[in-house]
Amino acid sequence: MTPLIAGNWKMNGSRAALAELDAIAAAAAATPGVEVAICPPFTLIERAVARQPGLLIGGQDCHAEPHGAFTGAVSAAMLAEAGARLAIVGHSERRRDQHETDAMVCAKAEAAMGAGLMTIICVGETEAARADGGTEAMVARQLRGSVPHSAGDHLVIAYEPIWAIGSGQTPTVEEVAGVHALIRRSLAGLLGETRAAMVRILYGGSVNAHNAAALLAAPHVDGALVGSASLTAADFVPIIEAAA
Ligand SMILES: O=C(CO)COP(=O)(O)O
């Protein structure tokens, strides 16, 4: 399986920051065995695609409906028309701040796949669930609710423990391997063994140049979803290289 290293710029970046894509694209071209994606804010997608057409450029969200009276929202088809080839849905920051439920995330994922976009569905436990030993139950429940039954090879899952995002803390490599194995088993139950085997499962949460190699070497870790360390080529390129 080709590893995927995806950067989520969140609400960061500017036209000037797109200059970082040049060195990122060069690193991606030099490591053909690794797929590299950047998800900038919506407003930068077209320029990012124009600047580096070889990179996979994506959106950080999409609406479940194709069009209509949804002020502030962007549909999956609009992302695709802007040149995006993937979409992140169900990021924990949107589940928290926009109150997105599993059902809403599932509808967004269906819309994104319907528009032909590679679709990264994010799951991950809260700190409280982890403290109670509830990590696997929470992740399995999110998968059951968020993964469309029709999902095929466009599907990517990102396991992002909420407490690890932006905190500098990560689970141990063994813990990550355990949750990724659970995700693979859950997907097999939802989609069947054959389709589940094709789904890339990314780890996200405080991935950096120092911890990437160990995390990416864990079983069932097929790439990374990177936040702050994707904002500059200096931080992101070593993570791409660690996946090679
Ligand atoms: O939320 C994340 C990516 O989607 C992870 O963010 P950080 O890499 O900044 O912890």
Q: Give the CATH number for residue 106.
A: 3.20.20.70
Does residue 55 belong to any structural domain of this protein?
A: yes
Residue numbers in the chain where pLDDT is lower than 50 = none
Tell me what pLDDT residue 75 has.
Answer: 98
Prediction pTM value: 0.98
Domain that holds residue 131: 10-60+70-206+237-243
Q: What is the pLDDT of residues 81-134, one digit of tens each?
A: 999 999 999 999 999 999 999 999 999 999 999 999 999 999 999 999 999 999
Does residue 181 belong to any structural domain of this protein?
A: yes
Does residue 222 belong to any structural domain of this protein?
A: no
Tell me what pLDDT residue 152 has.
Answer: 84
Residue from 94, 207, 215, 231 to probe ligand 1 pocket by mutation (most atoms less than 8 Å from CB): 207
The minimum-distance atom of ligand 1 relative to the CA of 226 is 8
Does residue 121 belong to any structural domain of this protein?
A: yes
Does residue 114 belong to any structural domain of this protein?
A: yes
The active-site residue, picked from 91, 154, 180, 220, is: 91
Enumerate residues 6+ apart whose C-beta is below 8 A from 128.
none
**What is the rounded CA–CA span in Å between residue 123 and residue 138?**
9
CB atoms within 10 A of CB 166: 13
Ligand 1: lining residues by beta carbon, under 6 Å:
8, 91, 160, 165-166, 204-207, 225-229
Catalytic annotation present for 160: yes
- Judge if ipTM > 0.85: yes
Tell me what pLDDT residue 46 has.
Answer: 98
Tell me what pLDDT residue 26 has.
Answer: 98
Could you give the number of structural domains in the chain? 1
Q: Is 206 among the annotated ligand-binding positions?
A: yes
Q: Is 9 among the annotated ligand-binding positions?
A: yes
Tell me what pLDDT residue 64 has.
Answer: 98
